[in-house]
């Protein structure tokens, strides 16, 4: 049976309060019991996408900020109801059920009358209240002010499109395992199962509608993986021209995936090569996340050397033999994937960018000596901020004269819906924001 809406709103508010306290959205929604989790997460994602507007409306409705949980419930209702066209339920129903949610929870019961008064006033004065918040940038764009200002500086001609794309729902994109099938063949299998999809990139398929992976033909047997179209560019960029033209090469290509969890790019590297043509080492500093690499490879029928180790400290794990190719998908603000993780924008602080940029620079400095002469390092981040992308690479090239930048995509800005087709810098349709720089170590 469908759980009552008031219960879903209660749990959504609890998750929002947890995220506001610093918990990641993944952890907050994982705490919801499985039978209720899909509905609560869907509501929670919508709340997080419109939280800037909701908080602005709440400031107009309440002179003082309520305690954390009642405030989270009030903002949950406002985020879901403020725009009737986007609302998952009729605004009146959302208000009624939010008040019911407040009454049924001892932690919010004392605030039920206050929440009721605020929301009833919102229903009466909706147009005036929304109009009063239209001029507030955080309410208009639903991102922190510092984030908006940084995008304006970094992408002065595109910042509005990026913010608009961030608030769209991301599609579900698959990467077909070319060891087992082709994109064209798997597309036929999807259509036979009643699942619509379109081609994106050499081995990608974007589903018309997201589905549980259990409904995908052959998923359990490794026929495909879920991976955004921009992320699917990593392995081809790194390996193009390096792999032997035919199987049976005397010495396999030595490849390092330096920050590998959960293993999607590691698997893609292995899928692109014939058996025995590539020797991949995958590093992950966190033991729990490292196990996800093993699980990913096992499902796909692939094998790599998986190490729990810090990529920034090669002395602890490197055997001294240079690598032909290194993939450094560096830790970053994740500012390019907020469509999929709408909590990120509210969790990040302005100071995080500089701290992460320093970590990225340290990883580049530690790993570059491990690349053989004539070898490559692909630096990438799922960020749209230039400090983590073009500025990082410009500084690296100044200090490493033995490196040259090969043709690379650079900053790929997120594309959503109708904006995703026919854009010159967008060969793979709808995708997240990413940065790619392919570096070659000069042979001499």
Burial bucket for residue 421 (CB in 10 Å: 0-12, 13-18, 19+): exposed
305-308 and 204-207: which strand pairing? unpaired
Rounded to 5 degrees, φ, ψ at 20 are -60, -30
Q: Residue 196 CB: number of other CB atoms within 10 A?
A: 12
Q: Choose, from 118, 259, 380, 382, the residue flagged as catalytic.
A: 382
Rounded to 5 degrees, φ, ψ at 58 are -60, -35
Peptide bond before residue 97 is cis, with ω within 30 degrees of 0? no
Helix axes 68-81, 112-133, angle to 10 degrees: 50
CA atoms within 13 A on the CB side of 231: 24
Tell me the C-alpha distance between 261 and 238, whole Å: 18
Dihedral sign from CA coordinates of 315, 316, 318, 319: positive
Return the structure tokens found at 141: 């764009």
Is 332 one of the catalytic residues?
no
SS3 state at 432: coil
Tell me the catalytic residues. Answer: 382
């Amino acid at each position: 049976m469908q759980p009552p809406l008031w219960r879903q709103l209660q749990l959504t508010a609890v998750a929002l309060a947890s995220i506001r306290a610093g918990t990641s959205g993944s952890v907050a929604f994982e705490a919801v019991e499985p039978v209720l989790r899909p509905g609560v997460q869907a509501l929670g994602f919508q709340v997080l996408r419109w939280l800037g507007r909701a908080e602005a409306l709440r400031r107009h409705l309440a002179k003082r900020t309520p305690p954390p949980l009642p405030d989270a419930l009030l903002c949950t209702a406002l985020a879901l109801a403020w725009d009737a066209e986007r609302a998952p339920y009729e605004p009146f129903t959302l208000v009624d059920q939010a008040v019911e949610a407040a009454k049924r929870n001892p932690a919010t019961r004392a605030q039920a009358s206050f929440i009721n008064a605020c929301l009833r006033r919102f229903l009466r004065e909706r147009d005036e209240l929304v109009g009063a918040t239209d001029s507030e940038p955080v309410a208009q764009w639903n991102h922190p002010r510092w984030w908006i200002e940084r995008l304006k500086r970094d992408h002065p001609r595109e910042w509005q499109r990026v913010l608009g794309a961030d608030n769209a729902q991301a599609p579900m994109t698959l990467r077909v395992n070319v060891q087992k099938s082709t994109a064209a063949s798997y597309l036929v299998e999807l259509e036979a199962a009643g699942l619509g999809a379109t081609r994106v990139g050499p081995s990608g398929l974007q589903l018309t509608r997201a589905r549980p992976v259990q409904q995908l033909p052959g998923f359990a047997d490794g026929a495909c993986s879920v991976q955004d179209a921009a992320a699917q560019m990593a392995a081809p960029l790194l390996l193009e021209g390096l792999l032997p033209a035919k199987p049976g090469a005397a010495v396999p290509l030595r490849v390092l995936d330096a920050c590998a969890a959960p293993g999607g790019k590691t698997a893609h590297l292995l899928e692109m090569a014939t058996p025995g043509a590539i020797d991949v080492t995958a590093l992950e500093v966190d033991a729990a996340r490292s196990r996800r690499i093993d699980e990913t490879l096992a499902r796909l029928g692939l094998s790599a050397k998986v190490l729990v180790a810090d990529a920034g400290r090669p002395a602890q794990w490197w055997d001294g033999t240079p690598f032909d190719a290194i993939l450094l998908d560096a830790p970053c603000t994740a500012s390019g994937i907020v469509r999929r993780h709408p909590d990120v924008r509210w969790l990040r602080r302005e100071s995080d960018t500089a701290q992460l940029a320093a970590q990225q620079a340290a990883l580049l400095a530690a790993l570059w000596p491990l690349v053989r002469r004539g070898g490559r390092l692909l630096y990438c981040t799922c960020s749209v901020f230039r400090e983590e992308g073009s500025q990082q690479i410009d500084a690296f090239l100044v200090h490493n004269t033995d490196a040259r930048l090969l043709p690379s995509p650079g900053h790929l800005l997120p594309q959503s819906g109708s904006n995703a087709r026919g854009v010159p810098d967008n060969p793979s349709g709808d995708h997240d924001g990413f940065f790619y720089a392919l570096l070659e170590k000069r042979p001499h």
